[in-house]
Amino acid sequence: MGPRPSRRSRLSRRGPAAALAVLLACAGPAASPSPAYAEDGAGLAASLVELRSEVERLTDALEDARRTRRSQAQGFAARKAQLEAELQREELRVRQLREARERKRAEIEAAKADDAALLPVVEAGAAALRAHIDRALPFRREQRRAAVDQIEEKVAEGLLTPRAALSRLWALVEDELRMTRDTGLYRETLPIDGEPMMVDVVRFGAVGLYLRTGDGRVGTVAKVAGEWRTTLLDGEDETARINALFDGFKKQIRVGFYTLPNILPAPEERR
């Protein structure tokens, strides 16, 4: 008895049509997909496309975030370098200021020793200037004396070095010298009939004053017998001449010829 033919051999003998019928019968319902399976496949494909798009979007967003972070890190690094450079400059400036302060402190200590020898000179100069003001024309005398007193007070309180005090005293001396060359119209408080009164005055250097009160009285301030004396004048001629002087100065007429009562001191008093 010979070998048994295989299934494939038997199907081939029946022909292509029979073989196809057998295959379809064996495959059964799975050979033709159902509509539900087709819909599930389409949904999965759409979900895959959507997920792939979301992954690409997230990848791009992540890359943008990385670039932004790198840019920020570079900016922070540059700012840090700038701040470190500024800190170094400030530390250098502070060190230089401290060194300058120490040098200045040493100079001040050295100057104090030198200024100590100038202190008697300051005191003598202030006393001499105050004595001059007391003897000189009684024009704003209180203010002039106060300026000298203020210098001495600052030296005593340690707010002014003797060297600086001498410079300020010399400036006051120059003011006194300048006053001898100036002539002008001012307001001044003078004793009139034993009472202080604000009057108009024309000052001729440090020689003397012509005055005019608010009620029209006129007079002079001149040195008589070593003292400054205020004298009211009631003569018509003298009154007219002094009024002409005041009128001319109020009109800013500084150049002209005036005939005035004499206020020059006697020759023996001119010193």
d(CA 113, CA 264): 48
d(CA 28, CA 17): 17
**Per-residue pLDDT tens digits for 217-240:** 999 999 888 889 998 998 899 999
Buried b (16+ CB within 10 A) or exposed e, 219-231: bbbbbeeeebebe
Output phi, psi for 214, to 5 deg: -65, -25
Mean pLDDT of the 75-86 span: 90
The pTM is what? 0.55
Q: Which secondary structure element, helix H or strand E, spans residue 45, and what is its range?
A: helix 35-135
For 159, the token pair is: 């707010």
Sequence-distant contacts of 165-169: CB under 8 A, at least 24 apart: 165/122, 165/126, 166/118, 166/121, 166/122, 166/125, 169/122, 169/125, 169/126, 169/129
d(CA 243, CA 216): 9
The answer to whether 205 and 181 are in contact (CB under 8 A) is yes
**Per-residue pLDDT tens digits for 98-142:** 999 888 888 877 777 777 788 899 999 999 999 999 999 999 999
